[in-house]
């Protein structure tokens, strides 16, 4: 049994959905699993030329791969059923493919109500934080406590250890990102779950299963939430527009900034990233500006090739490979 992991190294919305979709397309995986977060995530996926947005269900479902919402996730059942219907209506077969770990926690009405009143963090108002709080306070409800979910329940131990797993190849799809991680992000402007490789292990897997770790970044940074993130410079308005940077879950404008290279190094080192995929390189071409913040300075490049070369060189020092990806083209897994 082997697990490839896809995680975000910035503040979410790096294009993890796109990379997962590309990786799954080749038919190499037997399972896809989400290991953190819930309906706060928004994966934008172009499937057969059609734009689809999912929040909870792993992208395995687009290719007939068993798709599991893991025990580290929180599930709003109303939205779960809504998403199943949405996928079916868009021609994606879900029957017999979508499962929820029986020990995943349920987002309840009271969680959504409470989160709806948040003004300080700028949450997605999906009940995520209050649900995790109640989980850790040992007051939560789990998927196995709700009769309507019976047909979808799965036991991670039975599925992955109590049958021949020698040919299992799993894609673990992360949600949110290092900069939003409850422990490593910019607290309190974070989400309520762990967004790194450690989180995969807590979903019932062990370190021997981890194969490749893909760290996803964008050619610039975006963040949605209450803190001030975007500098007062017109260029970021342009990037926001060219990149169509609006939240997939809430529709909010994403604030933009240059890449924070120190954050990427930290995230990549702490998660043992093998390969970085940089998305939306084309957007910087549209605004004809290429900059990276590093060691308290802002580095400037004259062209895409200079920019790309610098990134390649710096990452090779880290023994990390890198792929560059352009909208809307598919990411090339390469090697």
Q: Does 58 bind ligand IMP (CB under 6 A)?
A: no
Tokens (6 digits) for 246: 């609006």
**Shortest distance (Å) from residue 202 CB to ligand IMP:** 18
Burial class (CB in 10 A: 0-12, 13-18, 19+), 99: buried
x/- letters, 222..261, toward ligand IMP (CB under 6 A): --xx------------------------------------
Span near ligand IMP by CB under 6 A; candidates 98-106, 116-124, 232-240, 319-327: 116-124
Rounded distance between C-alpha atoms, residue 155 and residue 12, angstroms:
29
**Shortest distance (Å) from residue 177 CB to ligand IMP:** 7
Nearer to Mg ion by Cβ, of 252 and 313: the residue is 252
**Shortest distance (Å) from residue 54 CB to ligand IMP:** 11
Tokens (6 digits) for 22: 């590309």
Nearer to ligand IMP by Cβ, of 156 and 283: the residue is 283
Rounded distance between C-alpha atoms, residue 124 and residue 128, angstroms:
8
The H or E element spanning position 267 is helix 261-271
On whether the CB atoms of residues 42 and 53 are closer than 8 A, the answer is yes
Residue in this structure with the two tokens 């309520």, named with its chain if needed: 192
**Shortest distance (Å) from residue 248 CB to Mg ion:** 5
Among 20, 248, 259, 264, binds Mg ion (CB under 5 A): 248
Is 43 among the catalytic positions? Answer: yes
How many other C-beta atoms can be found within 10 angstroms of the C-beta atom of residue 291?
A: 16
On whether the CB atoms of residues 290 and 303 are closer than 8 A, the answer is yes
On whether the CB atoms of residues 36 and 50 are closer than 8 A, the answer is no
Active-site residue, selected from the candidate residues 21, 31, 43, 209: 43
Residue 180 binds what, of Mg ion, ligand IMP, none (CB under 5 to 8 Å, by partner type)? Answer: ligand IMP
**C-alpha Rg value of the chain to the nearest Å:** 19
User: Could you tell me which of 307, 304, 281, 305 has the C-alpha nearest to residue 294?
Assistant: 307
Residue 192 binds what, of Mg ion, ligand IMP, none (CB under 5 to 8 Å, by partner type)? Answer: ligand IMP
| CA dist list (Å): 329 to 14, 173, 281, 282 | 15, 20, 11, 10
Q: Does 42 bind Mg ion (CB under 5 A)?
A: yes
Q: Could you say which residues in the range 169-208 bind ligand IMP, by CB under 6 A?
A: 175-176, 180, 189, 191-192
Q: Could you say which residues in the range 124-153 bind ligand IMP, by CB under 6 A?
A: 124, 126, 128-129
Q: Could you say which residues in the range 12-31 bind ligand IMP, by CB under 6 A?
A: 12-13
Rounded distance between C-alpha atoms, residue 178 and residue 174, angstroms:
10
The residues that touch Mg ion, with contacts defined as CB under 5 A, are 13, 42, 248
Give the footprint of ligand IMP on this chain (CB under 6 A).
Answer: 12-13, 40-42, 121-124, 126, 128-129, 175-176, 180, 189, 191-192, 224-225
Active site residues: 13, 43
């Amino acid at each position: 049994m082997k697990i490839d992991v896809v995680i975000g190294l910035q503040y979410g919305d790096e294009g993890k959905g796109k990379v997962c979709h590309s990786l799954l397309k080749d038919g190499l995986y037997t399972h896809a699993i989400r290991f953190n977060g819930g309906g706060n995530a928004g994966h934008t996926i172009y499937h057969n030329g059609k734009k689809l947005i999912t929040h909870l269900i792993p992208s395995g479902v687009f290719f007939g791969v068993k798709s599991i919402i893991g025990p580290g996730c929180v599930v709003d059942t109303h939205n779960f059923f809504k998403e199943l219907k949405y996928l079916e209506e868009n021609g994606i077969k879900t029957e017999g493919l979508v499962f929820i770990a029986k020990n995943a926690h349920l987002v309840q009405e009271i969680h959504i109500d409470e989160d709806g009143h948040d003004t300080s963090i700028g949450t997605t108002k999906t009940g995520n934080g209050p649900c995790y709080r109640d989980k850790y306070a040992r007051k939560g409800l789990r998927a196995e406590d709700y009769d309507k979910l019976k047909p979808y329940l799965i036991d991670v131990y039975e599925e992955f250890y109590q049958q021949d797993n020698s040919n299992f190849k799993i894609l673990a799809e992360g949600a949110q990102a290092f900069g939003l991680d409850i422990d490593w992000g910019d607290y309190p402007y974070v989400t309520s779950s762990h967004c790194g490789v450690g989180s995969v292990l807590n979903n019932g897997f062990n370190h021997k299963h981890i194969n490749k770790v893909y760290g996803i970044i964008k050619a610039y940074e975006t963040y949605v939430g209450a803190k001030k993130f975007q500098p007062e410079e017109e260029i970021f308005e342009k990037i926001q527009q060219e990149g169509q940077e609006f939240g997939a879950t809430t529709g909010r404008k994403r604030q933009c900034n240059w890449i924070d290279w120190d954050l990427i190094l930290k995230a990549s080192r702490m998660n043992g990233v093998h390969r970085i995929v940089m998305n939306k390189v084309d957007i910087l071409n549209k605004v004809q500006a290429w900059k990276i913040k590093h060691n308290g300075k802002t580095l400037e490049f004259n062209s895409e090739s200079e920019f790309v070369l610098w990134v390649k060189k710096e990452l090779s020092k880290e023994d990390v490979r890198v792929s560059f990806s352009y909208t809307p083209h598919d990411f090339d897994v390469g090697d």
